[in-house]
Structure 1
Amino acid sequence: MTGPIDSASIARAPKVLLHDHLDGGLRPETIVGISAEIGHELPTTDPEELREWFRSSADSGSLERYLETFVHTVAVMQRREDLVRVAREAAIDLAADGVVYAEIRWAPEQHLEGGLSLDDVVVAVQEGLAEGEKEAAAAGTPIRTGQLVTAMRHAARGREIAELAERHRENGVVGFDIAGAEAGYPPSRHLDAFDYLHEANMHVTIHAGEAFGLPSIWEAVQVCGADRLGHGVRIMEDIEVLGGRDSYGRPAAKLGRLAGFVRDKRIPLELCPTSNVQTGAAASVAEHPIGLLKDLRFRVTLNTDNRLMSGTSMTREMTLLVEQAGWTLEDLRWVTINALKSAFIPFDERLALIEDVVKPGYAQLAIS
């Protein structure tokens, strides 16, 4: 699995996605259509021009322009039928990209302007995901999905959203997340939510270590008990690269206590190369720390974050790493299995996907 990989092989490769925002992956055509129905004004009503507007705004380096993009996607996700449609299309689009398992995160508290309750919106999204799964299976591209219910870190609804997630754990919700601005809003502000979830034996991921550094990661892991780190790319600030190779042929490096703990405990990093470049957490895909963290054997996973804003897909993220960072088919297989090991579904389901889908899929690519 160490030879050259062509684009067709990457497209066919089984993929696993743990960090993908529902409101960051809409089809431009859907945004245009719903906006026309509800009277929401867009920068342009041409779908292709709108696609480019989202990408260029995210690439602009302006936080205001980047945040404005979500104003438009969230605006068209307030009615029940629109939530169903967006979730259904997300599952279909991911399956068509070769994703066999996806955890899709979103913040229910941002979708109440149409009069729906928190429970209503979770049910609507699950209905859409289930419909998308059925359509994908009929098309020969089966996918398993799960919801990550997210609380906004600047709001004061963490415990309420945690209870919402727990209520729907038998209806598609596989875990809990917090998102939003890291600086000034540490995860410990929601400690009551995390205490509640730990008592309920529910999985937790926390956005940490992207816009803010090691203190955010430390709180997420040591205070809030995160099972995974959303991004976590700035763990590099606790790693000193020494140059050369160690006795195992890996990059010689000295890990600080936090980085060492994260690696030792196998806490997964939900890395998103293109998005991390857009937000300034990495200089380029070629220089993204994902390669070094992989070589140092952190529990690295590869993700899209916001497919619309980043103009990306799992196939594109894999292709960029192959073309710009020299990744091999074995690297892609390794990161995919990592993601399934780190997923929030039961162990037997994870194992079945690894043994029955991912390993055979990559074995077929290796001999084709």
Structure 2
Amino acid sequence: MISRDQLLAAPKVLLHDHLDGGLRPETIAELASDIGHTLPRSDAEELGAWFTESADSGSLERYLETFDHTVAVMQNAAAITRVASECVQDLAADGVVYAEIRYAPEQHLNGGLTLEQVVDAVREGFEQGEALAGDKIVVRQLLTAMRHQARSMEIAELAIAYRDAGVAGFDIAGAEAGFPPTRHLDAFEYLQRENAHFTIHAGEAFGLPSIWQAIQWCGADRLGHGVRIIDDITGADNAALELAAIDLDKVELGRLAAYVRDSRIPLEMCPSSNLQTGAADSIAHHPIGLLAALKFRVTVNTDNRLMSGTSLTREFALLAEAFDYGLADIRWFTINAMKSAFLPFEERLAIINNTIKPWYANALS
């Protein structure tokens, strides 16, 4: 078994983490007090527990309701910068060496900020956090548009305007049912013309049509979650078996699943979050085990560290216990993620060759 100290020390890469889903409870309490926002709990420890319990409902819609409070305290530049800086510091303390943090700029305008001022505030916070972490971590922004709104083109243009100023790519998020990614096709076509990177939340609370549209209609570089790709795989009872009981030789991939695997389309999988939203009933039965065994381009992520009460170290610890993973497996997931990052090739290669591979070579020797 891998020790927690080993997992904590291991260099890790995080591709799917929401800025407004990772605040420190004490920071929420302080910022709420400053603006007079009423919280469900006043004590920071009790507040943290409330977020986790409220998110642990099995419903994506109710899960998203917890963001009302975190977004409410992120409506001025100083608060956004503080949250962004603390995010980077917390990730660095967890051994993360590269991260892409996503958020929706359009949700932070109630205090009078412009979209550009929101992005600038996050950039300032990330730069502060990197410096305070001793430059042991590199962090980039992903700008998210909300599926149920009509500002995706505006946010896509914002991502292009800032792509040389800390923004690595674009994303859409929010409830999948009733809001297919094709509603934002103009934004995705614009991003493709601009040679830009983007990921799409797909296959989390909705099935294969969402994944198919994200890839074949919209041209997604990565899939946010993508857990429902398991529905296009037969011979494994939809992974609702212990992985050891599955005969991989009898597993068959449908056309879409085969395309995703053959094309090496990265899956931004978030195990603990998926349990809360009902996409899986346990870590041991999570499709990530089968998808990794079938050599899909699987990456491990946190989604919302506050709501899931988690960290990337904890996610790997849960997977290691459920699937008997060793350090070599964690290395595979980590290199998968770094290969899939929206960072220039030479910068990705430098982190792999200078940071990730040397640590694991030493740990595995």
TM-score with structure 1 length normalisation? 0.95
Instruction: Output the amino acid matched with 2:84.
Output: A
Matched, 1:28 2:22: no
CA distance in 2, matches of 1:106, 1:241: 38
2:300 to 299, 302, 308: 302
**Could you tell me which residue of structure 2 aligns to residue 54 of structure 1?**
51
1:248-275 Cα offsets, whole Å, 9 max, x none, are x955311000000000000000000000
2:165 to 155, 161, 171: 171
1:102 to 99, 104, 117: 99
Distance 1:323 1:79, change over 3 A: same
**Could you tell me which residue of structure 1 aligns to residue 315 of structure 2?**
317
Matched, 1:206 2:203: no
Q: Is the 8 A contact 1:251 1:295 kept in 2?
A: no
Secondary structure at the aligned position of 1:137 is classed as coil
Instruction: Write out aligned runs for 1:87-126 (5 A).
Output: 87-126=84-123
Distance 1:189 1:65, change over 3 A: closer
Instruction: Output the amino acid matched with 1:69.
Output: T
1:128-187 Cα offsets, whole Å, 9 max, x none, are 00110011016xxx0000000000000001101100110000110000000001011000
**Could you tell me which residue of structure 1 aligns to residue 340 of structure 2?**
342
**Could you tell me which residue of structure 2 aligns to residue 186 of structure 1?**
180
Distance 1:132 1:10, change over 3 A: same
Which has the larger displacement, 354-363 or 207-216?
A: 354-363
1:252-310 Cα offsets, whole Å, 9 max, x none, are 31100000000000000000000011101011111111111011010000000000000
Q: Is the 8 A contact 1:227 1:267 kept in 2?
A: yes
**Could you tell me which residue of structure 2 aligns to residue 235 of structure 1?**
229
**Could you tell me which residue of structure 1 aligns to residue 66 of structure 2?**
69
Instruction: Output the amino acid matched with 1:182.
Output: E
CA distance in 2, matches of 1:318, 1:284: 14
Distance 1:242 1:121, change over 3 A: closer
1:188, distance to aligned residue in structure 2 (A):
0.5
1:60, distance to aligned residue in structure 2 (A):
2.8
1:364, distance to aligned residue in structure 2 (A):
2.2
CA distance in 1, matches of 2:255, 2:142: 29
Q: Is the 8 A contact 2:22 2:306 kept in 1?
A: yes
Secondary structure at the aligned position of 1:169 is classed as coil
Instruction: Output the amino acid matched with 2:50.
Output: W
1:366, distance to aligned residue in structure 2 (A):
1.9
Distance 1:260 1:8, change over 3 A: same
CA distance in 1, matches of 2:142, 2:337: 15
Q: Is the 8 A contact 2:61 2:175 kept in 1?
A: no
CA distance in 1, matches of 2:179, 2:115: 23
Structure 2 alignment gaps of length 5 or more: 238-242
CA distance in 1, matches of 2:43, 2:250: 51
Instruction: Output the amino acid matched with 1:226.
Output: A
CA distance in 1, matches of 2:27, 2:281: 32
How many residue pairs were aligned? 358
1:65, distance to aligned residue in structure 2 (A):
4.3
CA distance in 2, matches of 1:312, 1:83: 21
1:64-120 Cα offsets, whole Å, 9 max, x none, are 642331000000000000010000000000000000000000000000001000011
CA distance in 2, matches of 1:102, 1:72: 24
Instruction: Write out aligned runs for 1:353-364 (5 A).
Output: 353-364=351-362
Q: Is the 8 A contact 2:60 2:205 kept in 1?
A: no
**Could you tell me which residue of structure 1 aligns to residue 250 of structure 2?**
252
**Could you tell me which residue of structure 2 aligns to residue 286 of structure 1?**
284
CA distance in 2, matches of 1:345, 1:223: 24
CA distance in 2, matches of 1:199, 1:286: 42
**Could you tell me which residue of structure 2 aligns to residue 272 of structure 1?**
270
Q: Give the % identical residues.
A: 66
CA distance in 1, matches of 2:234, 2:56: 29
**Could you tell me which residue of structure 1 aligns to residue 240 of structure 2?**
none
Q: Is the 8 A contact 1:162 1:193 kept in 2?
A: yes
Secondary structure at the aligned position of 1:87 is classed as helix
Instruction: Output the amino acid matched with 1:337.
Output: I
1:21, distance to aligned residue in structure 2 (A):
0.2
CA distance in 1, matches of 2:45, 2:123: 28
1:216-270 Cα offsets, whole Å, 9 max, x none, are 0000000000000000000000001269x9xxx9553110000000000000000
Instruction: Output the amino acid matched with 1:198.
Output: Q
Computed over aligned residues only, the root mean square deviation of the Cα atoms, in angstroms, reads: 1.5
1:325, distance to aligned residue in structure 2 (A):
2.0
**Could you tell me which residue of structure 2 aligns to residue 81 of structure 1?**
78
Secondary structure at the aligned position of 2:66 is classed as helix
Instruction: Output the amino acid matched with 2:227.
Output: V
1:322, distance to aligned residue in structure 2 (A):
0.9
Q: Is the 8 A contact 1:251 1:296 kept in 2?
A: no
